[in-house]
Amino acid sequence: MKRSKFGESKELLMRKTFEVLNLALRSGLDYLCFDYEWKKYNLTCEDLATILEEIDSNDGKLTVIFTVASRANEFLIEGSGKANVDSLLQLLDSYPDLLALNLVAGNPAYLSEEERGRSGSRTLYILGAYVASHAPTNAKILVGTENVLKTAVKLAAEFGYIPFHLFSDKLSTELNYTFSRTSGVSACYVPYSCVLSEREVALKIWRYVLRRSSAWEMLRSQNIDPKILVTAFENGKHEKLSDHAWNAFVSVMRYFVIYGDDRAFDRELGDYISSGMRLVIGLPLGDFEKEVPQLARIMRRES
């Protein structure tokens, strides 16, 4: 879940968060993941405690996955962030079945210049080792692999964490690397839509796709300058793109997002799930009320 989609005020953010929470509970989802974004949109430890209390009071079976960015000041183990990490570990101890942590280096787009200057691999390993030495036994911990695959897999091998991959052109290669060095259980983050058209998906996901170096490489291999696409999307001029440029973007986009009918999920994820990808965390691109129940139904069938 990206709470930045909900609005600006604290009251609105919490109201929308609880709406999605209740939708996830009604739909029978196993997990609800909160991404790390700009600080004003992130849940505080107090907010997280309120959500966990709500789930627990209603005998919910939903596990909240809370994302912790190792380079961010509020979670920096070697700085003042250690107190926040300790608070999360206390919640993990209080709600072992309802809370999981997702340790990541942190998307540079959501970090300050100072935070971006820190080593993702170094801070992630320090955070991961600290959590391992203080978390309750059998706590569920995920570790994000984006741009830090070797460090994430090292943490997974040493502490039994679950590597958390992005759905991308590199997923198969990354999973092979991961499975050769760990227990073989993995997770995947997938932007998806069961309700939007291809064009609607493109307008929702273009920033996500075009900030990835491999997407630029694939576009250039088709003789498309990625900067032309960025400019067109930013200025609302996408309809003026040539057919060749648009089709090239769509062909690349398909490596990073799943959309269409149920069969799209079967085609894209079936082999990965059977080989050891046990958790699929979907980022809904369309209306939550329509997307979330659809994903829950598809994942129940896949399992």
pLDDT by 10s per residue, the chain, length 303? 899 989 999 999 999 999 999 999 998 899 999 999 999 999 999 999 999 999 999 888 899 999 999 999 999 999 999 999 999 999 999 999 999 999 999 999 999 999 999 999 999 999 999 999 999 998 999 999 999 999 999 999 999 999 999 999 999 999 999 999 998 789 999 999 989 999 999 999 999 999 999 999 999 999 999 999 999 999 999 999 999 999 999 999 999 999 987 778 777 877 777 777 778 899 999 998 888 888 888 777 665
CB 163 within 8 A of CB 184: no
* CA–CA gap between residue 263 and residue 267 (Å, rounded): 6
Which residues are CB-contacts of 142 (< 8 A; sequence separation ≥ 6)? Answer: 65, 100, 101, 102, 103, 161, 162, 163, 164, 187, 279
| 37-51 core/surface letters (b: 16 or more CB in 10 A; e: else) | beeebbbebebbbeb
* CA–CA gap between residue 5 and residue 27 (Å, rounded): 21
Tell me if residue 222 falls in helix, strand or coil.
Answer: coil
* CA–CA gap between residue 291 and residue 196 (Å, rounded): 9
Residue 66 bridge partners (DSSP): 34, 101
Q: Which of 146, 29, 48 is CA-nearest to residue 90?
A: 48
* CA–CA gap between residue 241 and residue 205 (Å, rounded): 17
DSSP summary character for residue 181: T
CB 55 within 8 A of CB 100: no
CA 113 to centroid of chain Cα atoms: 22
Residue 100 bridge partners (DSSP): 65
* CA–CA gap between residue 99 and residue 31 (Å, rounded): 9
For 214, 218, 233, 248, 269, the CA distances from 223, given in Å and listed in that order, are 14, 9, 18, 9, 30
Tell me if residue 82 falls in helix, strand or coil.
Answer: helix
Q: Which domains occur in the chain, in start order?
A: 3-166 (3.80.30), 198-253 (no CATH)
Global pTM? 0.94
CB 139 within 8 A of CB 120: no
Q: Which of 103, 134, 102, 100 is CA-nearest to residue 120?
A: 103
CB 53 within 8 A of CB 47: no
For 215, 219, 243, 252, 297, the CA distances from 248, given in Å and listed in that order, are 10, 6, 8, 6, 32
* CA–CA gap between residue 165 and residue 146 (Å, rounded): 7
Q: Residue 301 has what pLDDT?
A: 66
H helical segments located in 101-148: 113-116, 120-134
